[in-house]
């Protein structure tokens, strides 16, 4: 039986999130002293305000990206009844990255370039969303052709096929891309936070609200879906409808992440397992804690990426892969899935 949600646990994770945010803002290749804000106006001018602005934007961006990836993994593991489900492993992120890279290669007309540069989300996220949907359609098409009831390793194996296919297309795109396009495509592939303005971050958050609210409102049904569609139907739950809409919401969220940070792996895999290992809460509160822990981990990863080898900044995908690959291997070896 799952225990009731504890407000103390929520507050603990919230405090960890605030502490991570503090270190993310004030520490990096150039440290910013908190006491500078209490100095005189003449000394205040010496504060690297541009660096501070960039770090605040990066903090807000990393927090939502980590929360979305962790929530996506938690939901996919529930609705697909597969403990290895994750946007990266299943090839969803690769599909979004591939289609977005193709749109960059084709290059927009001047009007669409202006729209994309101003709003950031609609044009890029639309192409990434199409790629995510295509990846899911391929995933389900393959699954229906495979005559086995064991989904434990079928979905990850299909994900490997999808990742390999889209990776090949990405290599072709890189080969024929223009020099000015390579940097953006490269950042999408390795997974790193793109520099964006506060208005673009606000739009990023606004676009994420509805999918997150929908998922949280329907999280109470996820526990029943684990036992199969027939059991859910006996309780009056339309599991097929909830599953399909939840997957569309996940595709929207993942497309937003791909537009801002490219393909970042393993966050959606390891966070839900960590939460379930530590706590035993209902799916709703499990989703809440996954979002908090995902934000904490990615904020700290962003801080380390610009601090360890300063002034160089390493891609976030490196840290998540270093953390996630051994955990995935541990899950497979111990079969604690």
Residue 278 has a pLDDT of: 86
Q: Is 327 part of any domain?
A: yes
Whether the full predicted model's pTM is greater than 0.95, yes or no, is: no
Q: 326 or 21: which carries more pLDDT confidence?
A: 21
User: Residue 319 sits in which domain range?
Assistant: 7-18+48-334
Judge whether 33 lies within some domain: no
| Model pLDDT for residues 73-96, shown as the tens digit of each residue | 999 999 988 888 899 999 999 999
Q: What are 95-141's pLDDT values in tens digits?
A: 999 999 998 888 655 434 444 444 455 678 888 999 999 999 999 89
DSSP string covering 44-89: HTTS-HHHHHHHHHHHHHHHHHHHHHHHHHHHHHHHTT-TT--TTT
- Burial label for 253, CB within 10 Å (0-12, 13-18, 19+), is buried
- Domain-located, residue 40: no
Could you give the number of structural domains in the chain? Answer: 1
Condensed to tens digits (0 to 9), the pLDDT of residues 280-326 reads 888 889 999 999 999 999 999 888 888 887 777 788 888 888 877 88
- DSSP 8-class letter at 221: G
Q: What is the pLDDT of residues 128-184, one digit of tens each?
A: 999 999 999 999 898 888 876 666 678 888 999 999 999 999 999 999 888 888 888
Spatial contact of 198 and 52, defined as CB atoms under 8 Å apart: no
Question: Is position 58 within any domain?
Answer: yes
Per-chain mean pLDDT for the chain: 83
Cβ atoms 87, 69 nearer than 8 A? yes
In a domain, 29, yes or no: no
Q: Is the residue at 78 inside a domain?
A: yes
Could you tell me the CATH number of the domain that includes residue 240? 1.10.3470.10
């Amino acid at each position: 039986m799952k225990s009731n949600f504890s407000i103390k646990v929520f507050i603990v994770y919230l405090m960890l999130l605030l502490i991570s945010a503090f270190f993310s803002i004030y520490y990096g290749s150039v440290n910013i002293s908190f006491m500078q804000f209490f100095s005189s106006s003449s000394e205040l001018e010496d504060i690297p305000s541009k660096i501070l602005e960039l770090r605040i934007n990066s903090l807000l961006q990393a927090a939502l990206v980590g929360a979305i990836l962790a929530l996506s993994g938690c939901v996919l593991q529930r609705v697909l009844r597969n403990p290895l489900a994750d946007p990266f492993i299943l090839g969803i992120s690769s599909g979004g990255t591939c289609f977005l890279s193709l749109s960059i290669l084709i290059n927009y007309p001047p009007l669409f370039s202006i729209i994309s540069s101003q709003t950031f989300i609609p044009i890029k996220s639309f192409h990434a969303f199409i790629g995510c949907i295509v990846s899911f359609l391929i995933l389900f098409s393959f699954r229906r052709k495979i005559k086995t009831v064991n989904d434990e390793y079928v979905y990850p194996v299909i994900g490997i096929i999808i990742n390999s296919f889209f990776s090949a297309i990405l290599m072709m795109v890189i080969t024929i891309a223009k020099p000015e396009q390579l940097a953006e495509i490269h950042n999408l592939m390795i997974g790193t936070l793109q520099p964006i303005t506060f208005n673009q971050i606000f739009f990023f958050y606004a676009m994420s609200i509805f999918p997150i609210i929908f998922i949280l409102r329907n999280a109470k049904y996820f526990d029943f879906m684990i036992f199969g569609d027939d059991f859910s139907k006996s309780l009056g739950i339309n599991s097929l409808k909830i599953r399909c809409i939840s997957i569309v919401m996940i595709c929207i969220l993942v497309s937003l992440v791909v537009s801002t940070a490219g393909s970042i792996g393993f966050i959606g895999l390891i966070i839900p397992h960590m939460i379930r290992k530590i706590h035993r809460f209902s799916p709703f509160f499990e989703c809440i804690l996954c979002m908090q822990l995902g934000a904490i981990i990615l904020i700290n990863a962003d801080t380390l990426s610009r601090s360890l080898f300063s002034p160089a900044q390493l891609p976030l995908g490196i840290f998540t892969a270093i953390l996630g690959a051994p955990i995935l291997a541990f899950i497979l070896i111990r079969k604690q899935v």
